[in-house]
Amino acid sequence: MAFTKEGFLGHFSGKLGNTVVYEMYGKTVIRSKPAYKRRPAKGALKQAQTDFSRVMKIMQAVRSVIRLGFRDVAEGRSAFHTAMSLNLVNYRSAENPEDLRWLVVSQGDRAGAQDLAMEVQDKNANITWGDPEPGKPYKMNDQVLLLAINNMTLQTTDKVQAARRSEKRAEIALPAAKEGENILVFIAFHNPLEAVSKKSPKNFSKSLLVG
């Protein structure tokens, strides 16, 4: 059933006969339900659906990070869907999609860092970095974002402001992992102060895989 709080021309939501009414990006969408039951997908279509489902689960697992990391490059759609589109392409072209090394959790033109290294001690990862990537904008007070993810369970830990670029060192607790599961750590650099004043791809770096 459909309902509205603003009269017949107000905001509908729900079902009305064979019609479904809902809102998307602030607009009311009306569509009819299919009159027949679709046959199960096969072949390439089935694979496309499987790929989409897998990447969607990964995006949902890291959604708090990608909503920030893709905010400044999202044009005409949400940061989440912008990240979904890019990572779906990466997943399908990856030599080994299940290892998650193709994952991008932020996108932009700000400088990342050279000479990335990681040392694991107990349940923590210590990450170090060197000079900024050449030819890209940066400031030494840039904040460091860290994300750790288990490639099988998709359990994550993250730090949006783990350290400043000038410190050249940051630490993050790692999610649990059993035998056969791998933990990947990603790093990105961003400047919240510049992001407040103006939306720009220069506010965030593209994420880099540390290890």
Residues 95 and 165 in one domain: yes
How many domains in the chain? 2
Residues 8 and 105 in one domain: no
d(CA 189, CA 22): 37
Residues 60 and 164 in one domain: yes
What's the pTM value of the predicted model, to 2 decimals?
0.80
Place of tokens 């989440």: 80
Domain limits for position 201: 46-209
Q: What phi-psi label fits residue 175: left (phi over 0), alpha (psi between -120 and 50 degrees) or beta?
A: beta
d(CA 201, CA 71): 9
Cα angle 210, 92, 206 (rounded to 5 degrees) comes to 35
CATH code of the domain covering residue 54:
2.60.40.10
User: If 0-12 CB within 10 Å is exposed, 13-18 middle and 19+ buried, where does residue 209 land?
Assistant: middle
Residues 129 and 189 in one domain: yes
The verdict on residue 37 lying in a domain is: no
pLDDT 10s digit of each residue in the chain, 211 long? 444 455 544 555 566 666 777 666 666 767 776 665 666 767 678 888 999 999 999 999 999 999 999 999 998 899 999 999 999 999 999 999 999 999 999 999 999 999 999 999 989 999 999 999 999 999 999 999 999 999 999 999 999 999 999 999 999 999 999 999 999 999 999 999 888 888 999 999 999 999 8
Residues 6 and 71 in one domain: no
